Structure 1
Amino acid sequence: MMHWTPAAALLAGLTFAAPTFGQSANGLTQLDILDGGRSADGSYQGALRMTLQDGWKTYWRAPGDAGIPPHFDWGPSSNVGEVSITWPSPDVFDQNGYQSIGYEGELVLPVTITPKNPAQPVRLQGSVDIGVCKDVCVPERLDFDHVLDAEAGRNPTIAAALAERPFSPAEAGVSGAACHLSPTNDGMQIEARITMPPAGGDEVTVIEPGNPILWASQTVTERQGDTLIARSEVINASGEPFALNRSDIRITVLGAHHAVDIIGCSAG
């Protein structure tokens, strides 16, 4: 697994109605901001579209053992109260013997922006650090600076990305999700038992502990009838003791037909 730090990038210019385009320093990735207009509740719909050169991949929020998760800096933005990201269902790749999870060619990442003051313009400004991989892994930093267009109409590219989100538990027919926690030499094991119909093919389960200081190992998944069993070990890199809150544990099942997003699990 490679270790690296983000490289410098070119600065994307400020635009008002047209998308903002930013090119990475090494030319492997282009970023543009898509406008989806303002909703009735005052929030804005937009998206970050990252277009990669042919054959290159980038990573999901939980990238697997061979990847680096994207990091977003919204700090320089103006009149932005909250940014909510909707992740499209990712693919699972074998990367030099390691499992990685992400997207090939393009990632359209829908974002819902809630302004601090609905009567004022919203300027989305900041940067995103990502890793892109082909035969080698390369760091990318992409800057963006864009005043959102409140009058923009429905954007079909954003709509398509939203349609690719994982199913909710109800949509996937999940009737139960329980997590058994047990101590290990280095941390804690989570064994999740999820009662749900198959998602198709060889299902891959990802367990996220819900705390950014904790790391979860690649999950081992098996199925016993209608029950999916997934095990992962969680450790704290600092070596300090930690507690797990079952309500914060996030379980994603990636199948050939669809993905399922489960937040929280009961004691089991």
Structure 2
Amino acid sequence: MDLLKFSLGVAVLMATALPAAASSSPWADSEGGRVRLVTTGTADASGRLSGALHIELKPGWKTYWRDPGASGVPPQIDITKAPGITKAELSYPAPGRHDDGYGSWAGYDRTVALPVTFTVANPKENTVIEAGVFLGICQTICIPVQAQLKVDPGVDAGNAEDAELVKSALASLPQKATDIFGAKTLPGEKDKLIVEATAPGVAKSVDLFVAGEQGYLFGAPTRAEKDGKIVFSIPILGRPDKAAEGSGLPYTLTAPSGAVEGLLPYP
């Protein structure tokens, strides 16, 4: 997505945190949709609290996956104003591929709930969550949406509707990759990531999404079928200045039968 095109929509939504009436925050509205934070109630004994960032899109609008391409905005959540929360980790359902005339990028063209796992410092105490959320919602232009959401998980902790939304969000996540449905890297050129995919179903319906994290930046993949194998060639547009730290590059592989996710070694 073109940076100038994105900058035309810098009417950023600033939503004030309002008192939470249930185990979800109030909605924060924007031109292309609205967003809220939903939780399942109280944390478990280890301090894990399940929730979801619920993004409701108006028809014709889209939002980004974890890797938004060269100039998009990935969903982000900031918990610095929630001292009782030590970590907030977003997870992502399988995205689709979109081309707006400026470039190809991964995201969602439908309402989506991104699972969030909060880590509570003291699970024996009720902890109010104040989270700053930042994401892009796009139609012909993209509008950065910034909102401050507040939820008290202990209020209406048994809310069945909220619990069902979080459960559905978790169920929408890709399964763990396997030898019969997964991806692996192949030797390739320095400026390309070559990935061989194995998936059930029609080969032309299989797609691969690799997240450019740790300083990596990737272009849109091209595919080829060779000796019965599906091979993706992904341009490496940027690399980190020093060795990446972590377990590898997250990927999602989609097919008509579903989606899986895993990690690829850093190239």
Instruction: Answer yes or no: same fold by TM over 0.5.
Output: yes
In the TM superposition, residue 11 of structure 1 has moved relative to its aligned partner by 0.9
In structure 1, C-alpha distance between the alignment counterparts of 2:140 and 2:68, rounded to whole Å: 17
Aligned counterpart, 1:167: 175
> How far apart, in 1, do the equivalents of 2:223 and 2:55 lie?
31
Selected match of 1:197 from 190, 200, 204: 200
| Aligned residue runs from structure 1 range 203-218, under 5 A | 203-211=206-214, 213-218=215-220
Distance (Å, rounded) in 1 between the aligned partners of 2:242 and 2:64: 27
Alpha-carbon spacing, 1:232–1:166, altered in 2? closer, same or farther (3 Å): same
Please list, as runs of the form range in 1=range in 2, the aligned pairs for 1:84-99 lying within 5 A after superposition.
Answer: 84-96=89-101, 98-99=103-104
Within the alignment, does 1:82 sit opposite 2:87 as a pair? yes
Gaps of 5+ in 2: none
Residue 201 and residue 221 in structure 1: after superposition, are their counterparts in 2 closer, same or farther (change >3 A)? closer
Instruction: Letter of the 1:32 partner, please give it.
Output: R
> Per residue, is there more strand in 1 or in 2?
1
Alignment partner, residue 122 of structure 1: 127
CA–CA distance in 1 between the matches of 2:143 and 2:21?
Answer: 31
RMSD of aligned alpha carbons: 3.0
- 1:1-268 to 2 correspondences below 5 Å: 1=2, 2-4=5-7, 7-15=12-20, 17-24=22-29, 26-37=30-41, 38-39=43-44, 41-64=46-69, 67-96=72-101, 98-149=103-154, 151-152=157-158, 155-170=163-178, 173-174=180-181, 177-180=184-187, 182-183=189-190, 188-198=191-201, 201-211=204-214, 213-224=215-226, 227-236=229-238, 241-243=241-243, 247-265=247-265
Using the size of structure 2 for normalisation, the TM-score is: 0.82
| Native 8 Å contact 1:81 1:116 kept in 2 | yes
Maintained 8 Å contact 1:91/1:101: yes
Using the alignment, how far apart are the partners of 2:95 and 2:182 within structure 1?
24
Q: Match of 1:220, as an amino acid?
A: T
Q: Please give the alpha-carbon distance, in whole angstroms, between the structure 2 residues aligned to 1:149 and 1:224.
A: 55
Q: Deviations over 1:157-209 (max 9, x none)?
A: 12222121112113x733762343532xxxx3211223443476522212234
Q: Secondary structure at the match of 1:152?
A: coil
Corresponding residue SS for 1:162: helix
Q: What is the rounded CA distance, in whole Å, between the counterparts of 1:235 and 1:66 in structure 2?
A: 13
Taking structure 1 as the reference length, what is the TM-score of the superposition? 0.81
1:223 and 1:246, CA in 2 relative to 1: closer, same or farther beyond 3 A?
farther
- Aligned length in residues: 258
Partner Cα distance (2:202, 2:21) in 1: 42
CA distance in 2, matches of 1:195, 1:107: 27
CA shift in 2, pair 1:223/1:259, >3 Å: farther
